[in-house]
Amino acid sequence: RMMVCGGKGFGKSTMLRYLINSSLNLLPKIVLIDLDIGQPVMNVPNQISCHLVTQPLLGPNFTQLQPPLWSIFIPSVNVEDCMLQYLDALHKLSEICVQDDALKNAPWIINTMGFSRGIGVLLHKAAVKLLRPTNLLLLNSNLSKFKLQNFKENLFGNENFKNTFNLEYFPNEEFPCNIMETMAPIDLFLQTSHNSDQVSSKQLREALEVVYFGGGCRQYTVQIVEDVNFTSCTKNLKRDAVIGLCEAVVCRGFGKIVNISGNLVTLRTPIDIKSMFENSCLILNSIEKQSIKFKSILRISKVNTTRQSGTKRTFWH
């Protein structure tokens, strides 16, 4: 089990793709555990997931969307707003993956967030404790402008974690792990230093949503039912909002609200709700602080239009 850690922009995704693609030359399948809720490798945001990879990963993430084997919904892409939900989802996903027989005979590669300070360190420690990697690949930088994003704390230390959380499902026993530290390539930072040519995280998330809801979607009308076993989120449901479609703790996919009429909600989604939730309860989970605006995708900002009404003009694809 290989876990890849490093600061934002250190090349974790590039390293992860290299590890997966090179391993597929020797093995028929690789297990990808994706713990990045903002920029996942093969899925849309707001979830941590497990994928069984059998084909090389080529191109950006919105070109290789695949339904996961297992997925747990997270209400926000800002982990600071939902830290306890993230820890709980991490615990649930680790339990599911450990018990799944289909994942036992394949190597695991674990993707993490580029959150290397404060809460991010604690969340990385939680992932280490629950997923128990045999190898930890730690990407660092020796450039002064990026040294602040290097991990300073030992990800296997227990004291800071014990003093912060009192959660019984995090084991404290030690286990063998090979820690490999390496320096991120310098040219990577030179390429990303030109902000005018850099695609932002927000633009990548919007591209994922466009591709996810772009084709093969169907419309379904579901009835919201409130009882003692189900808490409805109708107050947070709005037209054009993206919501998680969940069964118990497992996220089965996402839908976009087309219309709301009383307790009837019309959804547009690429998953087959009728067959998937035929004998179970469909739970609608709203995404916090989200705005669906696709105008920033493929933005061309190098336009000198200061003479036009005194404002900058922007072209959209």
For the domain that residue 245 is a member of, what is the CATH number? 2.40.30
134 and 187, same domain (yes or no): yes
138 and 218, same domain (yes or no): no
For the domain that residue 18 is a member of, what is the CATH number? 3.40.50.300
28 and 133, same domain (yes or no): yes
Q: Is residue 203 part of a domain?
A: no
Q: How far apart are CA 92 and CA 273, in angstroms?
A: 23
Q: Is residue 23 part of a domain?
A: yes
Q: How far apart are CA 70 and CA 307, in angstroms?
A: 53
77 and 6, same domain (yes or no): yes
279 and 181, same domain (yes or no): no
Q: What is the pLDDT along the chain (317 residues), one digit of tens a residue?
A: 899 888 877 778 888 999 999 999 999 999 999 999 888 888 888 899 999 999 999 888 888 888 899 999 998 888 888 888 899 999 999 999 988 888 888 999 999 988 877 788 888 888 888 888 888 888 877 766 666 667 666 666 555 555 455 555 566 666 667 777 676 655 544 555 455 456 677 777 788 888 888 878 888 888 877 654 444 455 667 888 888 888 888 899 899 898 888 888 899 999 888 888 877 788 888 877 543 333 333 333 333 333 333 333 333 33
179 and 217, same domain (yes or no): no
Q: How far apart are CA 284 and CA 179, in angstroms?
A: 40
Containing structural domain, residue 31: 2-191
Burial of 93 (0-12, 13-18, 19+ CB in 10 A): buried
166 and 265, same domain (yes or no): no
185 and 218, same domain (yes or no): no
Q: Is residue 197 part of a domain?
A: no
Q: How far apart are CA 126 and CA 132, in angstroms?
A: 10
Provide the domain count of the chain. Answer: 2
54 and 145, same domain (yes or no): yes
11 and 103, same domain (yes or no): yes
- pLDDT score, position 225: 72
pTM of the model: 0.78
Q: Is residue 124 part of a domain?
A: yes
275 and 130, same domain (yes or no): no
184 and 218, same domain (yes or no): no
Q: Is residue 104 part of a domain?
A: yes
Q: Is residue 206 part of a domain?
A: no
- pLDDT score, position 231: 44
- pLDDT score, position 290: 47
